[in-house]
Structure 1
Amino acid sequence: MANRPTTKDVARAAGVSVTTVDRALNGRMKVREETLRRIAEAAHRVGYHGRGLIDHRLGLVVPRKRLGVVLVKRQQEFYQNFARELQSAMAARADVRGEVCIRFAASQAPDDFVTELLDLGDKVDALACVAVNHQKLDAAVQTLEQRGVPVVALLNDMAQGIRASYLGLNNIKVGRLAGWMLTRTIRRPGKLAVFVGGNRWHGHDLREAGFRSFVRGEAPGFPVPDTVVNLETREVTYEATLDLLRRHRDLAGIYVAGGGMEGAIAALREARAPGEVGLVVNELTADSRAALADGFAAMVISTPLAELCRNLVSLVVEGLGPGAEAVPGQQFLEPRIYLPEMV
């Protein structure tokens, strides 16, 4: 025990006097919050045995903020990355004792989202969620708002007019961007297919609308057949892509507006040469990165997750507290664009 860290070690690491460390420990005199936090960090860094007491003192002056987040598709790389970025964004805030409680809905059924939201609502100060559009979600968000628990919609803007804010991409512009890419890079005329996850994903509807609007107005020589609903699954997308390739020999491009891109990539690898059919997908993952590198994808439109999570935490900490001014109804982030030469 001879090398056990002392208050001198903490003081040296924090750049303060031993007297200041002593005041932080015994609480007999006030220590500025910034100094107290620096001492607490130094105590943890050197392994000081009394760091718990300093943490307790710090907790008396730093507010606690609990954020609940409901995501989907626990096994997908994108949502695993999302969960990690949420925790990192909250951990980076030194002005609150922040906690992020993340739940994954069991399915995309409205009842599963409602269950998680209402259960979390009793445990947190604010909620954020990636959820479908449905009247049951509207009612749940209304209930939470009446309880004083604001709800932020993520990626897909649900409960419009009820939720506190939306944070994500401008999905109309994302769809137009996909249309621009395919029509500008495909060398031969042909049909363009669109996949959406389902009619309850408002963001997918907006992406489809933006895509069709751009093609109709700027590249009418590319017919767009009926939209394919893929339920955001790899299996359905794979089979549907092979079916499209069989039925439409002039299929020139595919835009996957939601999840399930892995199925389209696998089908193109199996049935077409690289670049023979243009493909635009959303979110940079191991699969989409490989598709770019191998020439099967022309572009990936990606959500800047780190920025989104930082903005969400800031919104919850600074903009949704008691007595806070009204927050903007929508906060659009600029998408990150990845091309084959960038991976």
Structure 2
Amino acid sequence: MSDPFQLGDRLRQRREQHLYRRRRALHSAQGTHIQCDGKPLLNFCSNDYLSLANHPRLISAAKKAVNTFGVGSGASHLVIGHSCLHQQLEERLADWVGRPRALLFSTGYMANMGVISALLKRGDTVFQDKVNHASLLDGAQLSRARLVRYPHCDTEHLQRLLSATDTPSLVVTDSIFSMDGDVAPLMDMARTCQNENAWLMVDDAHGLGVLGRGKGVLAEYNLSQSDVPVYMATLGKALGSYGAFVAGSDDLIEFLIQFSRSYIYTTAIPPAIAAASLESLSLLETETWRIDRLHSLIDYFRRAAAARQLPILSSQSAIQPFKIGDSERAVQISEKLQACGILVGAIRPPTVPVNTARLRITLQADHQEIEIDQLLDTLVSVFHQTDQQ
């Protein structure tokens, strides 16, 4: 059979450029200590920031819901897949982030694509940070609006672009950038958008549960409905569950129910997952030590890395990137760490710009200081080994 799409050549090229991705098989629950590909590993690459994915209360809530509602939801929300647990979770999430209503989506990717493509049309303009998540960029392309990308966190440049635009405009940004760990200048962006009559949409995937005493970036910076008309966050990271939601005004949510294709035409998440998410929100209220512990570990990590003169990027979040530059070397360091029993992912283009390959180290509330020291000491040794090759 012929290969009109040159699949083999393209795969070969990706291998030669040290950009080929491989999956690992996890043989345990998520946690700081895992069994992966038959080997015990100290895990520093999970987004389970509050160590809730394997919490017994989430497991118990999910089991109880399975006994009542079964496994699958059976249909989309608008057919017959919307259970009372989904409804309770939407109401609880809206209250948690301080918005009138919330709407569940099956994934964060689908939420971003569904919201942006529903709000915008050809002739509108969407402005996005150059390092926004792929789901935000794909949503913009799907909408057929004009996509304009501004330099990373450059509010002044954004203001100039907005002032020169006379079309309906949506500004879209991550709150915490997933590969850099830094936080967008949201207060300045909100003021700029209000001055220029544009809407601001914030993807708080890595902020919910971490910032604002767990309530996310809106609470952290006291951002109102008029500041951020469109708010999205995920349930599968700090909350340890699965899915995503969009929060905003009653009109926004009703509009998305009617016009967001990735909501309308997708099977709802299982009711048991909604039950686990409800329990996770309860845990955020009762086990507030988890958030304090995570931030304490972030501070410890940064001080310990600085003491070892490791060039960690400027990040106050649970994401602590160690920039390598060369993709081949990033893979080598990651593999050497794994051989030493430590799992840290090597992030390479096209996920990050060319020549900015990095190790993406993520911290969890259940990590111990001695484990951070183990990671950093091993990283120093491995880094110098590859430096000499």
Instruction: Note whether the superposition's TM-score is higher than 0.5.
Output: no
Report which structure shows greater RCO (CA 8 Å, sep ≥6).
2
**Could you tell me the TM-score, scaled by structure 1's length?**
0.33
Larger C-alpha radius of gyration, 1 or 2? 1
**Could you tell me the TM-score, scaled by structure 2's length?**
0.29
